[in-house]
Homo-oligomer: A and B are copies of this chain.
Amino acid sequence: MNIGPHTFAEFRRLTEQFHGCAAPGILLGGRMVTAARAALPEGTLFEALVETRSCLPDAVQMLTPCSVGNKRLHVINHGKMALSLFDKYNGRGVRCFVDASRLGPWPEMRVWLMKEKSKEQQDSALLEQEIEQAGTSVMALADMRVHESFLGKKSSGPVVLCSGCGESYPREHGDKCLFCQGETPFVMWPRKTKTL
């Protein structure tokens, strides 16, 4: 049972490159993406919606043309092991999720999903073996349709220069850019030595 065009071992290697390690969520996520895609009509131009920030976004980005930067990958922070692929135009698609009621034969997956033990106490080798062997047997599919706010191209409108910092920003944000309005998740100051 392949993950996209890759064997499990190949995909495992690729996750180490892209994600930094072969985390359980991304191995499982790879299977979920593959299952959802197989359930879409062939040739569908699709986007993706993942329901957790952990791991699943990377599985989607590694296996589909959907990325955060091309805005075809949408991330909502519901903390659920679930993802959907949906038709970009009509919003209809397929949701793949981990069905906790099917975890019986795979105790280490349950321990991991439900955080029944700390990461250090979990048996990561056994967990990975279970993920490989369980395949899609721990997942379920549902038909879905995204809210229409996900459809169509949204322009952020005209761009202007900020009277505070001089940088460009979307005029719809107001008289100044959001940073100069006080939304400051960071502080900054000029470098002593110019390097550019």
Q: What residues of chain A have their CB less than 8 Å away from a CB belonging to chain B?
A: 18-20, 23, 25-26, 35, 38-39, 49, 51, 53-59, 61, 65, 67-73, 75-76, 78-82, 84, 86, 94-101, 113-115, 136-137, 139-147, 149-150, 156, 158-161, 166-170, 173, 177-179, 183-191, 194-196
Contacts and interface: CB of A to CB of B under 8 A. Distances in A.
Contacts of A97: 167
The 5 A-B residue pairs with the shortest CB-CB distance, nearest first, are A58-B69, A144-B188, A79-B170, A57-B69, A57-B68
Given A115-B159, A139-B196, A168-B100, A69 B56 contact: yes
Per assembly, the copies of the chain total 2
A98 B149 CA distance: 31
Interface of A is mostly: mixed
Given A96-B196, A145-B188, 20 more contacts: A18-B67, A19-B70, A20-B65, A54-B71, A58-B68, A58-B70, A61-B61, A79-B170, A79-B177, A80-B168, A81-B167, A81-B168, A84-B186, A94-B191, A98-B167, A100-B167, A141-B196, A142-B189, A147-B184, A147-B185
Contacts of A184: 147
Given A35-B196, A95-B186, A113 B26 contact: no
Contacts of A136: 196
Nearest to A82: B167
B61 A168 contact: no
Nearest to A91: B186
Contact of A143 (B65, B156, B159, B190): B190
A161 B80 CA distance: 10
Contacts of A188: 95, 142-145
A164 B144 CA distance: 17
Contact of A113 (B49, B71, B150, B159): B159
A81 B179 CA distance: 13
